[in-house]
Structure 1
Amino acid sequence: MQMKLKRVLADLGIPQSELAASLEKPDGQPLSQAAVAQIVNHGQWPKSLDRAGLELKIKETLFARGANDDHIRDLFAMEEADAAPVLAGDAAPALNNAISKESDSMLLRKITLTAEAKQHFNLPRDPFTNEMRDDEDVFLSDDIRYVRQAVRQTAKHGGMLAVIGESGAGKSTIREDLDAWIEANREPITLIEPYVLGSEDNDRKGKPLKSMDLIGAIIRSVGKGEPARGSLEERANQMHTLLKNQANSGKRHVLIIEEAHGLTKPMLKHLKRFYELKAGFKQLLSIILIGQTELDTKLDEDDPEVREVVQRCEKVWLRPLDSNLEAYLAHKFQRVGVNYLDVFDSSAFSEIRLRLQSSKTTGQGANRAVLRTSLCHPLAVNNLVSGAMNQAIRVCEPKVTGELIAAAVRAGV
């Protein structure tokens, strides 16, 4: 079912964006395209606006663009959808369309709730901005709980661990949670973090991280101001001595490398030497690698260059929220004292999952297949939901609906 108005707009060649621009709200601002899409696709009118006045203005706009009496008759009645063409870029995309690559990158940009949106939804603060204040703010699905525990156990008891996740999956949150856990429990653990900003796996894209960089970072963190010695061999001996002395006093050390997908294969191979630093049977250095999905590819057990490292490295993944989406949003809004069901219509959740997908076609003919990947990670969810909540203000909707989620994607949130 759709409103006859949608068919008439297509017949007259009028984009929904043009119709929206002709309709003013009481504050003089034009009605949003999202509001017009809800009217023409679902017969849902903004509750806070005068419907009779909107209907009159719509008819005036259509007459000015050449509409006749047949067009206007039963203009706002619902009818079966037909094959009438619609103008590209103005109609709501089909709900089974995956999100485009461009929109995917947009969803990774930070979207902040407006003051009007916070007031509209009775939010004392933005649930998605600077919200991590203590460990109670960390949402824990079974997957996230497992990754967090794996990180803590590696830090406390030793090992080599790779934490792998898409951009926005929550890798930084896991890293910050480890720091907070060490401090809160007064664990005798020192985190060693080499400077990785701008590091890449080849000289064309940036500066590759080298063994000397790791040795320097360890000396700075463990040596407490002790200057590094001259040659590589002298520094390596200095590092080993510092780690042994600290280990003998009961302290543990964890080398954390963020953006580890940018490590070169030779550097990954060298990590075995750091991992094998010992004092007797006592391992001196645990290693945690944190990186995007390219890290999984580089840690390929079939690659002879890195096989020895892979055999010693456990991998854990931060997977998409998907079935945990509602629980995630319930948690985020509960932390600011709001029931998430007061913010979201039930149609929003399936639409979020649907929109946060990417698709890739492989093969040809009978072997052709469409591979879908979920992008339903915290950062993308936060930005998409924030964009839809901001859209709700423009169309005077009391809750975030599936249509508003779709509208936020079309607007590039």
Structure 2
Amino acid sequence: MSIKELLSDCAPSRRKLAEEIGISPAALSQLLNHGTLPKRRWPEIREAMLSLAVARGKAESDMEAALKELEQQPASAPEEKAEQEEPMILRKQTLTMQARQTFGLVRNPFADPETSADVFMSPDIRFARETLYQAATGSGFLALVGESGSGKSTLKDELITRINDENLPVIIIEPYTLAMAANESQGKPLRSSHIAEAIISTVQPGAKIPSSPEMRFRRLHEILKASHTAGMRHCLIIEEAHDLHRHTLKSLKRFHELKDGLARLLSIILIGQTELEKKLRVTDASVREVVQRCDVVHLSAIADPGAYLRHRFEHAGADFNAAFSPDG
């Protein structure tokens, strides 16, 4: 029998039982429900529990066995009721056709950018943009972190457009993450084998992918070296990286260390929400090797909404002053 069962009828109430033993009702609940031993006076409390139970007709051997079991088992954390908080992220707002007609907005100023010129550039956004560019064209390892809707994917798309417009010898590799989740119970985690397959099929389309993991990664290295010899660079971009499993995060260090002599063969850019930064904490020993190599860039909220609105309206061919008064 457990200690809770043995003491259940030793007093008319839990509070009275606590008084008999000499501890607080809260401490008694922690002891009986979660196996949490009192931090002080445990030998004294133990003796009081044993004496009380024996006095109430319980077998001393049963109590001793229950107490020893209690002392040997790890304490379980009490269940905490999660606080229900109001969501901090606003629902997407759209312009109605009536509003667009009223202000003469033939083109929606808030539509997705179609050219690099359409992308608003604050100092913070410009810094993130250039950092992405340097990581992609060099051999960087970078994580771009921001809230949903902060413009992370827009900067990624603009980076690819910029590389194409400048005819840079950079191959962008993007594993599909449509069904990616952090664990099997929520979806299908992106594993290192999937990343290897994406690299092989992107750098050398039509190449046969070996079924053996050892041969697959050997083939991957050979393909990257051959492409590098031909003058190409390679950039792995993973969106929704906050859903990456920690094992996959850890494996990225080995991808980044693939070399041809001194030259790294693969730069890596992770794009994710703020949960990604939590996974890249320096206190997490499981990913410390990645943390030591990965730079983190934060994409903050726009500090000057007026400048953003003016930029978007002007690039949509709309009259900003007709829609907004000088005082906002």
TM above 0.5, one fold? yes
2:307 to 317, 320, 327: 327
Name the residue aligned to 2:226: 245
Counterpart amino acid of 1:198? Answer: A
TM-score normalised to structure 1 length: 0.57
Is contact 2:196-2:217 (8 Å) kept?
A: yes
Where 2:142 maps in the other structure, the secondary structure is strand
Where 1:306 maps in the other structure, the secondary structure is helix
Pairing 1:118–2:100 present: yes
Q: Deviations over 1:374-413 (max 9, x none)?
A: xxxxxxxxxxxxxxxxxxxxxxxxxxxxxxxxxxxxxxxx
Name the residue aligned to 2:5: none
Shift of 1:346: 4.9
Name the residue aligned to 1:202: 183
Is contact 1:125-1:336 (8 Å) kept?
A: yes
Shift of 1:178: 0.8
Aligned alpha-carbon RMSD (Å): 1.4
TM-score normalised to structure 2 length: 0.72
Name the residue aligned to 2:193: 212
- Which runs of at least 4 in structure 1 moved beyond 6 Å after TM superposition? none
Over the matched positions of the two proteins, sequence identity in percent amounts to: 45
Q: Which runs of 5+ in 1 are unaligned?
A: 1-99, 349-413
Pairing 1:147–2:128 present: yes
Name the residue aligned to 2:111: 129
Name the residue aligned to 1:339: 319
Pairing 1:282–2:267 present: no
CA distance, structure 2, for counterparts of residue 162 and residue 315 of structure 1: 5
Counterpart amino acid of 1:101? Answer: E
Name the residue aligned to 1:365: none
Q: Deviations over 1:273-301 (max 9, x none)?
A: 00000010010000000000000100011
Name the residue aligned to 2:9: none
The more displaced of 118-127 and 211-220 is: 118-127
CA distance, structure 1, for counterparts of residue 300 and residue 321 of structure 2: 25
Name the residue aligned to 2:235: 254
Q: How many residues align?
A: 244
CA distance, structure 2, for counterparts of residue 258 and residue 134 of structure 1: 21
Q: Which runs of 5+ in 2 are unaligned?
A: 1-84
CA distance, structure 1, for counterparts of residue 316 and residue 192 of structure 2: 45
1:272 to 253, 262, 286: 253
Shift of 1:305: 0.8
Name the residue aligned to 1:357: none
CA distance, structure 2, for counterparts of residue 168 and residue 199 of structure 1: 19
Counterpart amino acid of 1:209? Answer: L
Name the residue aligned to 1:313: 294
Q: Deviations over 1:129-176 (max 9, x none)?
A: 24x111100000000000000000011111100000000000110110
Name the residue aligned to 1:93: none
Shift of 1:113: 2.2
Shift of 1:302: 1.7
Q: Deviations over 1:318-368 (max 9, x none)?
A: 10013x2110001000112233232123554xxxxxxxxxxxxxxxxxxxx
Counterpart amino acid of 1:165? Answer: G
Q: Deviations over 1:89-136 (max 9, x none)?
A: xxxxxxxxxxx935x55x333x43232211210112111124x11110
Q: Deviations over 1:248-289 (max 9, x none)?
A: 111000010000000111111111000000010010000000
CA distance, structure 1, for counterparts of residue 91 and residue 224 of structure 2: 40
Name the residue aligned to 2:22: none
**Larger Rg: 1 or 2?**
2
Name the residue aligned to 2:164: 183
1:236 to 199, 203, 217: 217
Pairing 1:101–2:86 present: yes
1:166 to 135, 138, 147: 147
Shift of 1:182: 0.8
Counterpart amino acid of 2:320? Answer: Y
